Amino acid sequence: MAEKAAPSPLARTVLQQCVGARLQVEPAGESSEGRWVEIHRGMVIYVCFFKGATEEILPKMVSALLSLRACESDSGRLVSVLDLPGSILLVPQATLGGKTKGCGMQYHGNIGKEDGLRLYSHLVTLCREGLRDGAAAGSGAGPERDGARVMVQHGTYGNRQVLKLDTNGPHTHLLEF
Amino acid sequence: MAEKAAPSPLARTVLQQCVGARLQVEPAGESSEGRWVEIHRGMVIYVCFFKGATEEILPKMVSALLSLRACESDSGRLVSVLDLPGSILLVPQATLGGKTKGCGMQYHGNIGKEDGLRLYSHLVTLCREGLRDGAAAGSGAGPERDGARVMVQHGTYGNRQVLKLDTNGPHTHLLEF
């Protein structure tokens, strides 16, 4: 296929494979360390939507993210997170949409908060369905790994994303849609 | 400034602020857990060079990376890693140069290994000089934070980058050059 000038993307994602990741979904209080979600082996996906993005792009995004051979299997072969099978941690990350201006970042291209929240919530739902259905041929209760159910976890849109990441080599990928 | 079709980048970086990060720079042996480098507060920078990249782009890259207001100060203000002052962990990350083809990734645009190693090594040197000089107005011994000298650490080009990352919100940024 001939190279053509890429149009501005509607969504930007950064993927990192992990052996474990923890994300704070409720800020710490005076007497608590907040609420955290956690995944074991799988993939962390940072997500940012741009102006003009609609629900239309979501099925294509989910299909690409779930089927991309970006995870190392036990034998070192690259497989999709579906085939691993692994879990997914979705992290809203508006900073990914920034453009440098001088020493600062500007976010004029980012989607508005309400639209972004709606798309992000729908993305989480579709990833859950995809992960469940994609390995449905296996056990009836859904895919498992090392005796634990694989799952989709996610951060709270608009919040600070306090993240702790443990990798065996993140193999960072950039995917735009 | 009018929007123009962006030319293909010569280098791609992804930045994440961190409160701590550890990177394995020598693989674990049978009786050791390998050799690790570590930074405390500062920035992790994943780096990939494309074909056509030369030493010419390095000064501009270093200047942008060191002066970008991408780190939160104690008061929550966004400051550069120089002004924080914070440390830097450079991570070679060839996967960042990938393009999807079907469910796989292709790396036809990535720079060759020898050229990449040379550019990466030079980038490390320039970041070290920049971090030292940028805060030279302070103490004679170089910038410090919480009593510890800020520093540039880096992964070994061509190796697996086993990374453990601890953040207070990574604020992931994409910068291309």
**Segment A49-82, tens digit of pLDDT:** 999 999 999 999 999 999 999 999 999 999 999 9
What is the structure's pLDDT at A148? 72
- Cβ-nearest to B100 among A14, A68, A98: A68
Average of pLDDT values for A158-168? 96
- Which SS3 state, helix, strand or coil, does residue A11 take? strand
Contact A119, A60 (CB under 8 A): no
Name which of A76, A84, A6, A88 is nearest A47 in CA terms: A88
Q: What ranges do the domains of chain A cover?
A: 11-27+34-176
Q: Tell if the CB–CB gap between A80 and B70 is shorter than 8 Å.
A: no
Name every chain B residue with its beta carbon within 8 A of the beta carbon of A160.
168-169
- Cβ-nearest to B103 among A69, A165, A170: A69
Strands A78-79 and A104-106: unpaired
Tell me the pLDDT of chain A averaged across its residues.
Answer: 92
- Cβ-nearest to A96 among B104, B161, B172: B172
Q: Tell if the CB–CB gap between B100 and A46 is shorter than 8 Å.
A: no
Token pair recorded at residue B102: 């079907």
Banded pLDDT at A96 (limits 50, 70, 90) = very high
CA-nearest residue to A25 within chain B is B169
For an interface test with B, the pick among A4, A68, A163 (most B C-beta atoms closer than 10 Å) comes out as: A163
Beta carbon pairs, A and B, within 8 Å: 99
Low-confidence winner among A5-9, A41-45, A142-146 (lowest mean pLDDT) = A142-146
What distance in Å separates residue B144's CA from the closest CA in chain A? 22
Average of pLDDT values for A45-51? 98
Name every chain A residue with its beta carbon within 8 A of the beta carbon of B64.
100
Name every chain B residue with its beta carbon within 8 A of the beta carbon of A6.
6
Name every chain A residue with its beta carbon within 8 A of the beta carbon of B93.
170-172
Residue A152 neighbours by CB under 8 Å, 6+ apart: A87, A88, A89, A90, A124, A127, A128, A131
A2-13 tens-digit pLDDT: 555 667 999 999
B72-104 tens-digit pLDDT: 999 999 999 999 999 999 999 999 999 999 999
Q: Tell if the CB–CB gap between A170 and B160 is shorter than 8 Å.
A: no
Domain A11-27+34-176 has CATH 3.40.50.1000: no
- Cβ-nearest to A174 among B161, B166, B174: B174
CB atoms inside a 10 Å sphere around CB A4: 7
The whole-model pTM stands at: 0.93
Q: May I ask the CATH architecture of the domain B18-27+34-170?
A: 3-Layer(bba) Sandwich (3.50)
Token pair recorded at residue A49: 């939507």
What is the structure's pLDDT at B145? 72
All residue ranges of chain B with pLDDT < 70 are 1-6, 135-142
DSSP string of B78-129? Answer: EE-TTTTT-EEEEEE-GGGG-EEETTEEE-TTBPPHHHHHHHHHHHHHHHHH
Name every chain A residue with its beta carbon within 8 A of the beta carbon of B84.
none
CA-nearest residue to A28 within chain B is B168
Average of pLDDT values for A96-120? 97
